Amino acid sequence: MLKRIAEHIVPPLLLGCLDTEIAYAAALQIATQLGDAEFAALGPSAVRRAVDDRLTGGPLGTTHIALEGDGTVLVHQRSQWAAYVDGQGQTVASEHAGTPVLEVGWLAAFRVVPLVSDSPRANANATKRFALHGHMRHCYLDTLDAGLKTMLTRYPSSLDDDIAHRLASVFEKARIRLEPRTHDVRRSRTPLPIPHDTARRMAASATSATGTCARPRAVQITTPSQASGVRGVGVPALIHEQLAVSDFCDLCVTRVRQLILKSATEEDFDSGGMQHQMATPRFRFYNEAIVAYRKDIPESLPPPRKYLAFVLAALKYSTGNCVEMALTAAAFAQLKTQDFFSMRGHHSDGVKAEIYGPAFYDPQLGGSADHFFCVLNLVVNGHPYKMAVDPWMWNSMPCDAYLRALKDHPMPPITQPDTLFVTEKDMTDAINHPDFTEPVRSVFNRYAI
């Protein structure tokens, strides 16, 4: 079961290291903590010390694992008790039937961090080393019972300090590097904020014709736990496979947006729907950078070398529009597909990437649609999947549903109600040619970490 949990944890950790083996090793470290009796008992033990062991019976424990889009894995431990023994020896339960008399919860965060060499002259080509970091974000205690509140206020040490101190000891034994505590507002998880005004684009394309919302970019796994370890509810094999496919496509979107931070068309769209060209200084700066590096790419280059140069320039300057993002997503998928699914316990035959664009595209024609995205053709455990991956829109979903969403929710002038998106044959042939797929690994090794 712990290995299955580790497989789910790998995708966000990959964002910190781009190395599947390192991410899987870190995921196993985190999963091992979930099975460690001392880690599982941190909250219950602290509460028992605070109330002189007056709680009756074992707690109902739950562990929630949230996978964040910024590469962080959040582990939320929660324990609930039904009753306690008061000063007169009477068993006291909650006044509200079916609710706990006391609940304690705390949140730990984990991430993979590259180790910085002590030597300023370290070889840039040396093997990169990483460490698993962790810290406690916050702790909370809930009870409506006056007697328990009195006992807890008399406790000489604060509950969160008690848990944090013992968590540091657990991390030291597990060789997890302890980071200073943060002081987040109490909540079960901290979602990654959506930069700029991309919420508009996500809302526009997040609903299919059937009204089904697209899967969010963070996944949550829930496992009921006991103080002695973890037990989980099995996931049907096909559902587990489908989740793996969705996770992989989400990873492609998130990683590309981390690598390509600046987009002229995004800035123009967010500043006024592209109705006022050259509207902001940032647009001018981003646009000049993109125009400059595109001009530096010789027109005489064969298409595979030409589009490889697009990816290299976008990564080098962290700047690109939808074309660069689509090409980079295709390259990332080609590099990571087999390792990703293998670590999840699935067999993949690799990926055939396509670039989709408008069937009738003329950049000189005002009002025409101007948008490109990546489509991944995957075969996982013998089952075919055709997934749209659109980093510019911050979205991924089955290709048919995405095409319907683009049609039902147009965003002029990026997309129009009558825009027909089809495979862009020249770009698709180029990105599947060995002159693109083989050298692109060295491009990522140079610029993507």
What are the DSSP calls for 264-285, one per residue?
HHHHHHHTTTTSSTT-SHHHHH
If one counts every other C-beta atom within 10 angstroms of the C-beta of residue 367, the result is 8
Quote the DSSP letter at residue 393: G
CA within 13 Å, CB half, 137: 20
* Euclidean distance between CA atoms 336 and 5, whole angstroms: 20
Mean of all residue pLDDT scores within the chain: 77
Q: How large is the average pLDDT for residues 85-91?
A: 85
Q: What angle do CA 404, 410, 411 make, to 5 degrees?
A: 140
For residue 367, give both structure tokens.
């009002």
pTM (whole model) above 0.85: no
DSSP helix/strand/coil, 426: helix
For residue 421, give both structure tokens.
């998106």
* Euclidean distance between CA atoms 181 and 191, whole angstroms: 18
376 vs 179, more confident: 376
- Distance, CA of 172 to chain centre: 27
List beta partners, residue 207. Answer: 213
End-to-end Cα, the chain, rounded Å: 31
> Is 221 within 8 Å of 64 (Cβ atoms)?
yes
If one counts every other C-beta atom within 10 angstroms of the C-beta of residue 45, the result is 17
Q: How large is the average pLDDT for residues 66-71?
A: 76
Quote the DSSP letter at residue 117: P
Segment 269-310, tens digit of pLDDT? 877 655 545 567 778 888 888 999 999 999 899 999 999 999
- Report, in this order, helix, strand and coil percent for the chain, each rounded to 5: 45, 20, 35
Question: How much is the pLDDT for 235?
Answer: 39
DSSP helix/strand/coil, 143: coil
Question: How much is the pLDDT for 147?
Answer: 78
* Euclidean distance between CA atoms 221 and 426, whole angstroms: 41
- Distance, CA of 182 to chain centre: 20
If one counts every other C-beta atom within 10 angstroms of the C-beta of residue 410, the result is 17
Q: Pairing mode, if any, of strands 348-358 and 373-380?
A: antiparallel
Q: What angle do CA 184, 190, 192 make, to 5 degrees?
A: 125
Segment 245-265, tens digit of pLDDT? 988 998 899 889 988 988 888
Question: How much is the pLDDT for 116?
Answer: 55
Which pLDDT band, with edges at 50, 70 and 90, does 243 fall under? Answer: confident
Which pLDDT band, with edges at 50, 70 and 90, does 64 fall under? Answer: confident
Q: How large is the average pLDDT for residues 133-155?
A: 76
